Amino acid sequence: MTNSVREIRDADCIFITGSNTAEAHPVISYEVVRAVKKGAHLIIIDPRRIPLVDHATLFLQPHPGTDIYVFLAMMHVIIREGWMDETFIAERTEDYDAFAAILEGYTPERAALASGVPEEKIIQAARWYALGERAHGESIYEEAHGHSTILYAMGITQRSNGTDNVLTLANLSMLCGQIGKPSTGVNPLRGQANVQGACDVGGLVNVLPGYQQVTDDKLREETAKTWEVEQLPCDVGLTIVESTHAALAGEVHAIYVMGENPMMSDPNSNHVEEAFRKLDLLIVQDIFPSETAYLAHVLLPAASSLEKDGTFTNTERRVQRIRKVISPPGEALPDWSIIADIAARVTQKLDRKPGPEAWKYDSASSIFDELTLVTPIYSGMSYDRLQPSGLQWPCPSETHPGTPILHLDTFARGQGKFHAVEARDPAELTDEEYPLTLSTGRVLYHYHSGTMTRRSAPLHWREPRGYAEINRQDAEAIGLKDGFAVIIHSRRGTIRTKTKISEGVPPGTVFLAFHWREAPANRLTQDHTLDPIAKIPEYKISAIRLENPRAR
Amino acid sequence: MSREKLDQIAEKEQARQSQFDKRIHCCISTACLSAGAGRTIQTLRDSMEAAPIGDEVEVVQTGCMGLCSRGPLVRVQEKSGEEVYYADVDSECAEELVAKTVSWDHAKAKQQEISPELQTVRDRLETARKKRSLKKHILSPDLPFFTKQFKVVLRDVGYVDPEKLEDYLAHGGYESLHKVLAEMSPEQVCDEILQSGLRGRGGAGFPTGLKWGFVRREESDVKYVVVNGDEGDPGAYMDRTVMEDNPHQVLEGMMIAAYAVGASHGYFYIRAEYPIAVDRIRGAIRAARRHGILGKSVLGTDFSYNADVRIGAGAFVCGEETALIHSIEGKRGVPRMRPPYPSTSGLWGKPTVINNVETLASVPAIIKNGADWYAQIGTEKSKGTKVFALAGQLTNTGLIEVPMGITLKEIVFEIGGDVPGDAEFKAAQTGGPSGGCIPNTHMDTPVDYESLQELGSIMGSGGLVIIDSTTSMPEFARFFMDFCVDESCGKCVPCRVGTVQIRTLLDKIIEGRGEPEDLDKLDALCKLVRSTSLCGLGQSAPNPVLSTLRFFRQEYEALIPTNA
Amino acid sequence: MITLSIDTKTIQVAPDTNVLKAALDNGIHIPHLCYHPELSISGGCRLCLVEVEGQDQPVLSCGLTAAEGMVIQTQSDQLKELRRGVLDLFISDHPLDCVVCDKAGSCTLQEYAYEYGLKDTSYEPTVSSTLFQDDNPFFLRDHQYCILCGRCVRVCDEIVGVHAIDFANRGFETNIATPYDGPMIDSTCVFCGNCVQVCPTAALMPVSRLQRGREWDLDRTLSVCGYCGVGCQIEYATKDDAIIYAQAPEHGAANGSFLCTKGRYGWDFATSPERLKQPMLRRDVAHELGLTEEPWALPETSPLDIRKPNVEQYFVPVDWDTALEFVSSRLSDITESHGPDSIMGLASARCTNEDNYLFQKFMRAVIGTNNIDHCARL
Amino acid sequence: MSDTGPSNGKLKKAQEHPSGDDRYVALDRTMKRFHNEKDALLEVLHSAQETFGYLSEELLFYISNHLHVPLSQVYGVATFYHLFTFEPQGKHSCIVCTGTACHVKGSSEIVEEMSAVLNIPVGKTTEDGLFSLSTARCLGCCGLAPVAVINGEIQGKATPETIAGKVGRILADERIAQDQEEAG
């Protein structure tokens, strides 16, 4: 997030898209509810009527995959009506003209045609967001215009044009000067406890800790020096999806999986399974024998986040201490100590420099101290400084208070760059054979592949089994009623689950959470067309067909 | 519609009325109806039809004439203005009344052809002429019940037909509204009301002009006027009577208030137990709309105003202004802390004037006759008149309007005609569940806000219940405590739990289980509830107990076993 | 800023701050039951009365906006008397079974009764509602302990925004109710348990907490939730190395004093019998290494289709050394035979920065590949 | 929130009418008159009780859905006001005024007598659904205290005997009517 969670309550206008906030990030939805109760406008753009819509002052329901037309049209209107922030554009941004030129084609009329969202709603949303208008009550901010904030999540990123969507929202915020101030910004809501941190410390194919490009020789050498190794690999690596392809092609022979469950969470499970079976070595290090574990050669028992010390970095870039609350079961160990041990042994065997002793860490904090040396955005941090409520990066020095709001006076790259983005359609469109669109996601009571929540008694009691949310029309078309069994086919595979008739999904769309091993959503999703830049699979849009088993 | 048009209507109606030599007013308000006024007015009408010459006399249905205990009441009004009241007018009496009211000119009568049915009625009238029973129904106009009263609010109640706007106009209706619209600035209206010394008749007695001034000075796009017609005090029905029997008077007062504070919309909040009042007010609103008195450009001026009715649903606490607001907003009728006061943040957070019915009903007269006229009625601090619902053990019970400052003695012994039978007057209870009992030893107390307060009671909305020596004061106090327990909204603990504990103590004492220290405990608890409750209901709930403890302690003590 | 004096202490507060908040934020204690810093003002408990210079009657500090030069007294015989009286009424409608009450030690009413020396009520104990509702495994509702402060109703409406409960009936009969007092699951409740968090008494209690020890015997550890990315701080109450219940700290950095259902109640997975407790080698691998007699081959059934997964059927437990030796030698062999880029490491968004840092350092510095990824994209 | 909330039976019921039961049409009209504004809740509850006689669970759920007021709030409001009732009312009604004036003049005896005659406590309805007995806080006829209202007709200066007599006659007529039905 460019801004902080607790600023949302003071926003004058909140714009949410591609985030089922109340279910996937409940505590952030609390902030939104507060703002609305105080009089803020809440604009929601989502194909589904998500719970938070009950509080929305404006709800736009585009057909799946057409939201970008709405975003572009909003900016078209903003420029047409002169609602943009000219000073901000002039002083803080570049490449405006090329961007503006492209927008001319994206009229509200066109957007309405493509997305099914009425023009007047698009114009209304554009106005409220651009000018930060409130429904009622007083703004706490002095300026002429109120403060508007954008919240988004996987709904727009898990798409073959996910990067375009994100850039578009960035454009929107810069166009209106709704960034670099409190209660504004472009705020991705990260889905997992430490997804932010895992990226920060280099858990990506293209960057070293602190987002230093692996392709940058200078940066690479600095890190190598700190680590006392001669050299570090300079080519961008393979992502998990690419690796499965590579495994099938016989190029990848071993995969070391730590605390993940690709069999459930990666697209086109059948494909993943095929690949994993081909591996010479699959290491699964986890707290439970996950679905992936049953293909592994070796299982290494890890301590859960309740059973070890360390740090998590949350969606607002806040690095916080986690502490050992209870002891790990049996012989389970913290992941870091397992890795350290393996690393020491491999160093030995491959006779790498420096020797095994370099892998002796006595505590999580000693690792953190080393981490801060190679991670500039963390360099001012230490366990002591993280008490009691953490620090938000960048925190470059021991005295730096952390950074609640990014891009205050200048952007990371200097000027904010407008990207001229065109609308693109989803990779897999519906047709006669597969007439419906499947969208995957989460429900309130479960989390991800369900390894944890489905083993929690109260949560299981509340949401014991999976279901596909289907609109009454689509259900009745093939004689399905609420709670009936239903079979879902896609070009990748077939699953069977129960129906939940819901007005929450529009006709033509089916929603299925990916928590349910007995109905694994990712047997249906496609892995052939990823987002070209971010390599994100298009979880949110797959063409499917429903079948009523009783009709067999 | 313009003023001129209204005048024409008024004159037309006056002309129509003046063509009659006599007008027979028959009260059809709730009390008289339940005493059989329905049959009475029917008989009057039939008889008039059958009487030899009908058109010289008009039968008019009117509202309350005051002396409810003697209903059905009928008044015969001569062209000269001379009036005679008749009490307990049943059908028989009604026939005799008609028979003796119409002039029997047989020559004319002969020419009239009438149906056999009517002929039989006429025959009955013929015989009724000879009867001698009418005398005992006559109420002398010299009765203190009439002479001691001074009518401002009730002036036209009992004269105008509540369902005829024309009649109200004929009685000078909406002249005051026109006066303020045509001649006065909002500021002047507020000052005028302030000058008059009019104070809230809902009980607390806050100066109305001041209240209006606050709201007038508030900056806001929308403001509201709310008429508090949630007359919850059991034993009081002044507001109901005014709303039922002269609805336009209340509407006019409300609109003057609206003009004074700059409100564009208003609500009548009327308790559901008053269906007739609801109908009459709704009727008045419709009629006013039809005649351009309500709506866009009132009386052709650029002042626009609209009014609606909201119905309560059985909650005494909704008489409290913040609870009333919540109720109109469709929420639980629970009071909230003040400040902010409704004058700054009322209905939907907008500045709002809330006045009770009687208060607003006094306004047209004040505007018409001027602040000074009103201010010279009543006492130093309590100006004007007050309407009371006189009830309980008394010969004449009913609705009275008296100048402030009149003594209890005058009300009870002169207007009320003393306690019937050989029982003795013991105490007067004012202010209902929020008020207290004033013992016969304080008979000379002048009835005004301050004096009553000093005696631990309040003026209240106007319930005045007379208790005779047969009533036990502790039990009477428990009756009110039951009421408060029932009506507590439950938000704040002193009222929610305190009232229950007060009642528990009262039960204990009344059932003879009391201990000597219980009286002090009761007194202390009452004072705690009074000083810590959130709203007026809770703060005043202990009054009946406190005042009876103060003046009739011996009755409590007598209930406590001596050997305990 | 506005300057006022509370108990002779000069205090500066922002405009529109109420006196109660001003006092509490400055370490001046005024008893209160219905007030909560994150919720709207109710004024129902009548406890936070204070004396304002120039006003003859005490006023509620929660409803009193701090004004320049205001002089406030929070302690006096009169105030003590009034508060004591109100508390006396509270406990006349509340069971005094603190001896066996799970809330004892963290119950605000108990704390105040103690502070004002109320051993017992001086009135006839009369409990208004005895409704007992244990209709879900998250929390239970025991109305006899309810003091109707309304915090639960406000948090449900103003913060969570689902308005599952509200006041029902009125007067002494008032109670907090789902529609028709029905079971929670038939309401709009999302089981976030924030009502439990703000409840000052034992009216709302986590099921997991019942009969699990006295408050003062519990250890408390402040950590961060392991689920979504909001990073809510959670205070875990533990006893004998077991979690008794979880709640938000008073001032969580991102979450303030609130949580969602997963964070508050979804921690019991940690003690699931299915946890991996020791390293394991797949049966065919174990056989290869001569650790097991019978040969074994990985079945064709997809892991997603295994009806009742049983890890023992596929794996045999081994000691750490065997497991790590196997892993490290295999990795070394593959690196040497197929090159570093034939190995891929999948880090985790559920592991700590320290874990992930070491993991990528291992892949890059030891194995020598950038094939390091994690599920940032899902 | 029903999208995520458990699919409870009430939801379906509420969605199946208004089609069948045309009493809902009247209710819809009231809600329409107030443009389905939340603050019309009290008015809507009034009209609901008028048309249906009492407030059933389905009814409140229906209102909650159409005014977008949380069901818990609708229930909370409905239970706050004493005029709303949650069970069917009797064919005939007897309301005894317990206002101050009536109390002073002995209305409590009338209440006791009626409760004995009908053999039901105040606020209840006889098993055969013929009579409901209730009390009111002042009907504003203090001049005629004590008063009772039987089937909407006010009885002034009432005594236990007069009221019991009236009610007795109504019950007698009902029995005759029943007998005739059984006969014919």
- Quote the pLDDT of residue B109: 63
Q: Identify whether residues D140 and D111 lie together within a single domain.
A: yes
Cis peptide before B340 (omega within 30 of 0): yes
Q: Identify whether residues C257 and C295 lie together within a single domain.
A: no
- Please give, rounded to a whole number of angstroms, the shortest distance from the CA of C346 to a CA of chain B: 56
Instruction: Report, as an integer, the average pLDDT of B236-243.
Output: 92
Q: Identify whether residues D102 and D176 lie together within a single domain.
A: yes
The answer to whether residues A100 and A186 touch, using CB atoms and an 8 Å cutoff, is no
- In degrees, rounded to 5, the angle at the alpha carbon of residue A197 between the alpha carbons of residues A192 and A198 is 80
* Token couple for C170: 């009125």
pTM above 0.90, yes or no: yes
Neighbours of D19 (CB within 10 A): 8
Q: How many domains are there within chain D? A: 2
> Phi/psi of residue B515, each to 5°?
-115, 155
**Radius of gyration in angstroms for the set of CA atoms belonging to chain A, rounded to a whole number:** 24
pLDDT in tens, A3-32: 999 999 999 999 999 999 999 999 999 999
Q: Identify whether residues A94 and A229 lie together within a single domain.
A: no
Q: Is there a domain that residue C109 lies in?
A: no
State which H helix or E strand residue B12 sits in: helix B3-18
Q: Identify whether residues A168 and A309 lie together within a single domain.
A: no
Q: Identify whether residues A125 and A266 lie together within a single domain.
A: no
Q: Identify whether residues A352 and A485 lie together within a single domain.
A: no
Domain range for D29: 9-80
Chain A / chain C CB contacts < 8 angstroms = 514
Q: Is there a domain that residue D85 lies in?
A: no
Domain range for A224: 195-392
Domain range for C53: 2-75
- Quote the pLDDT of residue A68: 96
Taking the alpha carbons at both ends of chain D, their separation in whole angstroms is: 54
Q: Identify whether residues C249 and C289 lie together within a single domain.
A: no
Q: Identify whether residues A82 and A217 lie together within a single domain.
A: no
Q: Identify whether residues C153 and C36 lie together within a single domain.
A: no
Q: Identify whether residues C129 and C237 lie together within a single domain.
A: yes
pLDDT reading at B396 higher than 80: yes
C-alpha pair distances (Å), A427 with each of A159, A526, A544? 8, 9, 13
Does C154 contact chain B (CB < 8 Å)? no
Q: Identify whether residues C130 and C264 lie together within a single domain.
A: yes
Q: Which of A360, A392, A424 is the last residue of a domain?
A: A392
Q: How many domains are there within chain C? A: 4
Contact B313 D82 (CB under 8 A): yes
State the pLDDT confidence band at B324, using cuts at 50, 70 and 90: very high
| CA atoms of A317 and A390, how far apart (whole Å) | 10
* Alpha helix stretches (DSSP H) within B333-448: 357-369, 371-375, 408-409
Q: Identify whether residues D50 and D118 lie together within a single domain.
A: no
Q: What chain D residue is nearest to B470 in terms of C-alpha separation?
A: D104
With CA atoms as reference, report the closest residue to A38 among A66, A57, A52.
A57
Percentage of residues in chain A having pLDDT higher than 90: 92
Q: Identify whether residues C163 and C227 lie together within a single domain.
A: yes
The answer to whether residues B267 and B306 touch, using CB atoms and an 8 Å cutoff, is no
Amino acid identity of residue C18, one-letter, is: N
Q: Is there a domain that residue C98 lies in?
A: no
Q: Is there a domain that residue C16 lies in?
A: yes
Q: Identify whether residues A223 and A180 lie together within a single domain.
A: no
pLDDT in tens, B522-560: 999 999 999 999 999 999 999 999 999 999 999 999 999
> Phi/psi of residue A280, each to 5°?
-80, -30
Pairing label, strands A436-441, A509-513:
parallel
- Please give, rounded to a whole number of angstroms, the shortest distance from the CA of B508 to a CA of chain C: 10
Instruction: Report, as an integer, the average pLDDT of B485-510.
Output: 96
- Quote the pLDDT of residue B108: 62
Q: Which chains touch D (3 or more CB pairs under 8 A)?
A: A, B, C
- Quote the pLDDT of residue C112: 97
Provide the edge-to-edge strand list for the sheet that holds C204-206. C132-133, C139-142, C204-206
CATH at D171: 3.40.30.10
* Lowest mean pLDDT segment, chosen from A38-42, B93-97, C147-151: B93-97
CATH at A200: 3.40.50.740
| CA atoms of B473 and D104, how far apart (whole Å) | 11
Q: Which of C228, C248, C271 is the last residue of a domain?
A: C271
pLDDT reading at B174 higher than 60: yes
DSSP 3-state of D133 = strand
pLDDT reading at C300 higher than 80: yes
DSSP 3-state of C63 = helix
Q: How many domains are there within chain A? A: 3
CATH at C6: 3.10.20.740
Q: Identify whether residues D76 and D96 lie together within a single domain.
A: no
DSSP 3-state of B124 = helix
Q: Is there a domain that residue A409 lies in?
A: no
Query: Which residues, 6+ apart, have CB-to-CB distance to C33 below 8 Å?
Result: C45, C47, C90, C108, C109, C112, C147, C149, C200
C-alpha pair distances (Å), A434 with each of A439, A440, A441, A488, D151? 14, 16, 20, 10, 66
Q: Identify whether residues A114 and A249 lie together within a single domain.
A: no
With CA atoms as reference, report the closest residue to C346 among A447, A247, A347, A198.
A198
> Phi/psi of residue A482, each to 5°?
-60, 130
* CATH ID of B20-146, from 3.40.30.10, 3.40.50.2300, 3.40.50.1110, 3.40.50.1000: 3.40.30.10
Q: Which of residues 226-285 of C touch B (CB under 8 A)?
A: none
Instruction: Report, as an integer, the average pLDDT of A307-321.
Output: 97
* Lowest mean pLDDT segment, chosen from A141-155, A208-222, B507-521, D138-152: D138-152
- In degrees, rounded to 5, the angle at the alpha carbon of residue C58 between the alpha carbons of residues C53 and C61 is 90
Contact B504 C124 (CB under 8 A): yes
The answer to whether residues B288 and B253 touch, using CB atoms and an 8 Å cutoff, is no
* Token couple for A465: 């089994």
With CA atoms as reference, report the closest residue to D27 among D51, D58, D56.
D51
Q: Identify whether residues C232 and C312 lie together within a single domain.
A: no
Q: Is there a domain that residue C67 lies in?
A: yes
* CATH ID of B385-468, from 3.30.530.20, 3.40.50.1970, 3.40.50.300, 3.10.20.600: 3.10.20.600
| CA atoms of A66 and A72, how far apart (whole Å) | 11
- Quote the pLDDT of residue A37: 96
Enumerate the β-bridge partners of residue A392: A318
| CA atoms of B547 and B523, how far apart (whole Å) | 10
pLDDT in tens, C71-90: 999 999 999 999 999 999 99
- Return the residue in D41, D144, D162, D166 with the most chain B beta carbons within 10 A, the one to mutate for interface testing: D144
| CA atoms of B44 and B62, how far apart (whole Å) | 13
- Quote the pLDDT of residue B476: 93
Classify residue A417 by its DSSP letter.
Answer: E
DSSP 3-state of C280 = strand
HSE, side-chain direction, 13 A CA sphere, residue B319: 27
State the pLDDT confidence band at B107, using cuts at 50, 70 and 90: low
Q: Is there a domain that residue C87 lies in?
A: no
Query: Which residues, 6+ apart, have CB-to-CB distance to C323 below 8 Å?
Result: A298, A300, C279, C280, C281
* Lowest mean pLDDT segment, chosen from B396-400, C215-219, C341-345: B396-400
* Lowest mean pLDDT segment, chosen from B111-115, B121-125, C59-63, C208-212: B111-115
Contact D75 C165 (CB under 8 A): no
Query: Which residues, 6+ apart, have CB-to-CB distance to A85 below 8 Å?
Result: A145, A175, A176, A177, A178
Q: Identify whether residues C250 and C368 lie together within a single domain.
A: no
- Please give, rounded to a whole number of angstroms, the shortest distance from the CA of C118 to a CA of chain B: 16
pLDDT in tens, A322-367: 999 999 999 999 999 999 999 999 999 999 989 999 999 999 999 9
Instruction: Report, as an integer, the average pLDDT of A109-114.
Output: 96
| CA atoms of B240 and B373, how far apart (whole Å) | 26
Cis peptide before A394 (omega within 30 of 0): yes
The structural domains of chain B, with segments of one domain joined by +, span: 20-146, 173-375, 385-468, 473-559
Q: Which of A189, A219, A254 is the last residue of a domain?
A: A189
pLDDT reading at A191 higher than 50: yes
| CA atoms of A53 and A19, how far apart (whole Å) | 11
State the pLDDT confidence band at B179, using cuts at 50, 70 and 90: very high
pLDDT in tens, B48-89: 888 776 567 889 999 999 998 888 999 999 888 888 999 999
Q: Identify whether residues A166 and A292 lie together within a single domain.
A: no
Q: Is there a domain that residue A141 lies in?
A: yes
The answer to whether residues C296 and C287 touch, using CB atoms and an 8 Å cutoff, is yes
Q: Identify whether residues C136 and C8 lie together within a single domain.
A: no
Contact B496 C174 (CB under 8 A): yes
- Return the residue in C188, C190, C192, C260 with the most chain D beta carbons within 10 A, the one to mutate for interface testing: C188
Three-state secondary structure string covering B335-349:
CCCCCCCCCCCCHHH
At the second CATH level, the architecture of B173-375 is 3-Layer(aba) Sandwich (3.40)
Pairing label, strands B352-356, C372-373:
unpaired
- Please give, rounded to a whole number of angstroms, the shortest distance from the CA of A98 to a CA of chain C: 30
CATH at C139: 3.30.70.20
Q: Identify whether residues A30 and A84 lie together within a single domain.
A: yes
- Quote the pLDDT of residue D10: 43
- Please give, rounded to a whole number of angstroms, the shortest distance from the CA of A433 to a CA of chain C: 26
- Quote the pLDDT of residue D156: 84
The answer to whether residues C52 and C71 touch, using CB atoms and an 8 Å cutoff, is yes
* Token couple for C3: 């300057």
Q: Is there a domain that residue A310 lies in?
A: yes
Q: Identify whether residues A132 and A221 lie together within a single domain.
A: no
Q: Identify whether residues C194 and C237 lie together within a single domain.
A: yes
Averaged confidence pLDDT in chain B: 91
Tell me the pLDDT of chain D (184 aa) as tens digits: 333 334 444 444 444 454 467 788 889 999 999 988 888 999 999 999 999 999 999 999 999 999 999 999 999 999 999 999 998 989 999 999 988 888 888 899 999 999 999 999 998 999 988 999 999 877 777 778 898 999 888 888 899 999 999 999 999 998 888 888 887 6
- Return the residue in A502, A505, A509 with the most chain D beta carbons within 10 A, the one to mutate for interface testing: A502
Q: Is there a domain that residue D32 lies in?
A: yes
Q: Identify whether residues A329 and A442 lie together within a single domain.
A: no
Q: Identify whether residues D132 and D175 lie together within a single domain.
A: yes
| CA atoms of A24 and A445, how far apart (whole Å) | 9
- Quote the pLDDT of residue D18: 47
* Domain topology for B473-559: de novo design (two linked rop proteins) (1.20.1440)
- Quote the pLDDT of residue D102: 87
Instruction: Report, as an integer, the average pLDDT of A515-526.
Output: 92
ipTM of predicted assembly, 2 dp: 0.93
Q: Identify whether residues A111 and A248 lie together within a single domain.
A: no
Residues of C in contact with D8 (CB under 8 A): 186
pLDDT in tens, C239-292: 999 999 999 999 999 999 999 999 999 999 999 999 999 999 999 999 999 999
pLDDT in tens, A494-517: 999 999 999 899 999 999 999 999
Q: Identify whether residues C191 and C315 lie together within a single domain.
A: no
Query: Which residues, 6+ apart, have CB-to-CB distance to D114 below 8 Å?
Result: D94, D96, D133, D148, D160, D163, D164, D167
Q: Identify whether residues C156 and C173 lie together within a single domain.
A: yes
- Quote the pLDDT of residue B423: 87
- Quote the pLDDT of residue D9: 40
Contact D79 C187 (CB under 8 A): no
Percentage of residues in chain B having pLDDT higher than 90: 71
